[in-house]
Amino acid sequence: MSATTTDTSVSTLEPTGRARQLAAIRRLRALRWIGGQFFLWGVILLGLVFMVTPGVWMLLASFKTQAEISAIPLQFWPTQWRVNNYVETIEVMKFWRVFGNSLIITSCVTIANIFTCTWGGYTFGKLRWPGRDIVFMLLLSTMMIPGFLTLIPRYVLVAKLGMLNSYSGMIIPFLTGTFGIFLTKQFMLGIPDELIDAATVDGSSALGVYWRIVLPLSKPIMAVLAIFVFDWAWDDLLWGIMILTDRLKWTLPIAIANLRVQESNQYELQMAGSTLAIIPVIILFLALQRHIVRGVALSGLKG
């Protein structure tokens, strides 16, 4: 009788012990998951601080005096918000003139890249022609060439064509780009071949397929390409300094860089000019962000 009672109590305790072990394992896993999430978000927030702090400093410095910007120890907040810095910057830079120059040049470069790069991506990604892969590899190999090596030959070519100190000299050398072609080509590999084949059977030409089918389906990558190209062209300083000598044709980066010479290192004016210069880039990103997110979501659903 006693042996039976002992066996029954042991069998009753065994499930209870296993349940405790499983509960302990679950708690350990939960703690590990929470710890991993804290670490992950800590790294993300730390990176966010490093990325955002220079922009915040630039914005605050645009309202400071030169003494406050140069103060030691660091003075983060301005003692008095000097809105007049922006008024003076606009006058000294001839802001609306150089803003218009930047807008014309950057818009032309961006629109041209959208069409030339998507056409290049369509040509290499969807059309079949002899030597296509070899030509594409040769094109990609040009990305390995550092940009400064082509700077002087490009300048000589532009000078020989009589395009120095002109909008054409700022636009024509950058009408397309290898990276943009590669980017759009990779996207277009995901467009079903059946759509293109059906349009070809219906008698549509390659240009018709590109215009009626490929472009409407490529809006997400066009938005991404527009952000990349616009941001790069808007911030381009070196090429503009090399070929633009007429002040009336300066772009925003050149005008901001010359504030140091014109206004004897008045950093507050440079910070105000830089703050004004980033506004169009932010507006473009906010305008296209919805299209990018929607395009990624739709492509994911189509699977």
The pair of three-digit structure tokens given for residue 28, joined into one six-digit string: 């350990």
Is it true that the peptide bond before 73 is cis, omega within 30 degrees of 0?
A: yes
Element (H, E) at 85: helix 84-93
Provide the 3-class DSSP secondary structure of residue 250.
coil
User: Contact, 196 vs 213, CB < 8 A?
Assistant: yes
Cα(16)–Cα(7) distance, rounded to whole angstroms?
A: 15
Residue 203's pLDDT is 84
Q: Where are the domains of the chain?
A: 2-61, 84-302
Q: Does domain 84-302 have CATH number 3.40.50.1820?
A: no
The pair of three-digit structure tokens given for residue 172, joined into one six-digit string: 């024509």
pLDDT tens digit sequence for 1-30: 454 555 555 455 456 778 888 888 888 888
pLDDT tens digit sequence for 185-203: 988 888 888 888 888 888 8
| CA-to-CA dists, residue 292 to 176, 218, 287, angstroms | 21, 11, 10
Residue type for position 145: I
| CA-to-CA dists, residue 108 to 14, 102, 117, angstroms | 77, 10, 14
H-only helix segments in 142-218: 151-160, 167-171, 178-188, 193-201, 206-209, 215-217
Percentage helix, strand, coil, to 5, in the chain?
A: 80, 0, 20
pLDDT-based confidence at residue 75 (cuts at 50, 70, 90): confident
| CA-to-CA dists, residue 228 to 126, 173, 216, 279, angstroms | 24, 17, 20, 15
pLDDT-based confidence at residue 66 (cuts at 50, 70, 90): confident
Residue 15's pLDDT is 61
Residue with tokens 């381009």: 236
